[in-house]
Structure 1
């Protein structure tokens, strides 16, 4: 009976993960032969948005280059908070490029900047950026085969999103937690966390 229940739970987990996660098909990356230069008068926030556009299109090299420029622009302005945000995005681009050391350096510097921004800790802007950085850290740790560390990062991110009453952030980080739990072999917790993320009946006792 226990084995049958476990198999039923794993089947439900498989179904839920396929429901909430994109199918793992690598995007076709198309890079233009000539890249239009970014205007020199663009603001740091313009660079962040352009980086997002590149990232969404699968143009991760361009995204990394643009977010690096954004981080430098924020640094020149003395804006450590948004510099940390840009570095968090930069780490995501490096992860897509499988440049793991660069990804680690970027997110480590991002988190260090957030630690020094203690005077802004109570602001929603700080909390959102901190949650984003923790989300990025979790993604990196899972990719590097450290699901336990990834889970800790995503749990902290979920707590912040709960304080902010950010339903989208809560759902996303719960789904991320479930991925880490599944990698750790915590099938029942994975199932319950996915059901919580989807606001479904929290019953994983299948047989």
Structure 2
């Protein structure tokens, strides 16, 4: 969308695009980046730590926590990730603990336990930083820190954190992570009322996504961008971007990507219908 175009549309959308909406979109982007898989809805399951899992098997708990989180069972996921963090600590695995704490902060945030979420993610950032740290894990933790900051209403801090996350993703060669962090910057700018800067940031992300050579990465990045465009009110562009992602996913015969993109397209279609009804 060109700057200055469709002012009536933006006035309409700005009535309901608030901090909560931006937060939930950031959740989708961050979960996708944290897990490496698209955030698709799954049938609810009830999992407990395997009887074979002990403090020496925290990785299994972490995986079970991810399944619970995907199923919307955030309390159970938080409990298991607390156990996995303790298990990694007992093994002296600081990076393993950082990963579990990063996941834990996401579940705590879903539960509205803001300060606990902030404490967990700050510890994840600390453990994954420094000479013994891990750049990829640090980037994920920073991305999640921005999500928490946005949820708490600090758009300025979220914007700065997502800039740092983008630089960290770039340092480890993760193009999709970097572009996801740039998309999140657009959401932070939107939360601050800087709509034109938000549009410019999302346009920059779009241009860089088009230059990706790996079609699987391009499909994921396009989906993230399409979802973000839903929030800033550019529904026609969102639909176009998501259809591009869908076409790539079909060529790759990637069911998970197809499902996630079709869900996003459905949300955009409903938004377009609601918008037409409101005019």
TM-score (norm 1): 0.76
Alpha-carbon offset, residue 112 of structure 1: 2.7
Structure 2 CA distance, aligned partners of 1:160 and 1:114?
Answer: 12
Alpha-carbon offset, residue 10 of structure 1: 4.4
Q: Which residue of 2 aligns with 1:196?
A: 204
Structure 2 CA distance, aligned partners of 1:7 and 1:133?
Answer: 36
Q: Which runs of 5 or more structure 1 residues have no equivalent in the other structure?
A: 202-207
Structure 2 CA distance, aligned partners of 1:40 and 1:108?
Answer: 31
Question: Among residues 162, 170, 173, which one is paired with 2:178 in the alignment?
Answer: 170
Q: Which residue of 1 aligns with 2:254?
A: none
Structure 1 CA distance, aligned partners of 2:148 and 2:50?
Answer: 28
Q: Which residue of 1 aligns with 2:224?
A: none
The count of aligned residue pairs is 183
The reply to whether residue 68 of structure 1 matches residue 82 of structure 2 is yes
Structure 2 CA distance, aligned partners of 1:145 and 1:129?
Answer: 25
Alpha-carbon offset, residue 39 of structure 1: 2.4
Q: Which residue of 2 aligns with 1:89?
A: 103
Q: Which residue of 1 aligns with 2:255?
A: none
Of the structure 1 ranges 102-111 and 133-142, higher mean CA displacement relative to structure 2 is found in 102-111
Q: Do 2:149 and 2:158's aligned partners in 1 also have CA atoms closer than 8 Å?
A: yes
The reply to whether residue 48 of structure 1 matches residue 62 of structure 2 is yes
Alpha-carbon offset, residue 40 of structure 1: 4.1
What is the 5 A alignment of 1:24-173?
32=46, 36-41=48-53, 43-115=57-129, 118-121=130-133, 126-173=134-181
TM-score (norm 2): 0.58
Q: Which residue of 2 aligns with 1:7?
A: 7
Of the structure 1 ranges 50-59 and 139-148, higher mean CA displacement relative to structure 2 is found in 50-59
Alpha-carbon offset, residue 8 of structure 1: 7.8
Structure 2 CA distance, aligned partners of 1:131 and 1:36?
Answer: 29
Specify whether residues 109 and 4 from structure 1 end up closer, same or farther in structure 2 by C-alpha distance, changes over 3 A only.
closer
Structure 2 CA distance, aligned partners of 1:112 and 1:148?
Answer: 21
Q: Secondary structure at the match of 2:187?
A: helix
Alpha-carbon offset, residue 113 of structure 1: 2.3
Structure 2 CA distance, aligned partners of 1:195 and 1:8?
Answer: 20
- State the Cα RMSD in Å: 3.2
Specify whether residues 37 and 52 from structure 1 end up closer, same or farther in structure 2 by C-alpha distance, changes over 3 A only.
closer
Larger RCO (CA under 8 A, 6+ residues apart): 1
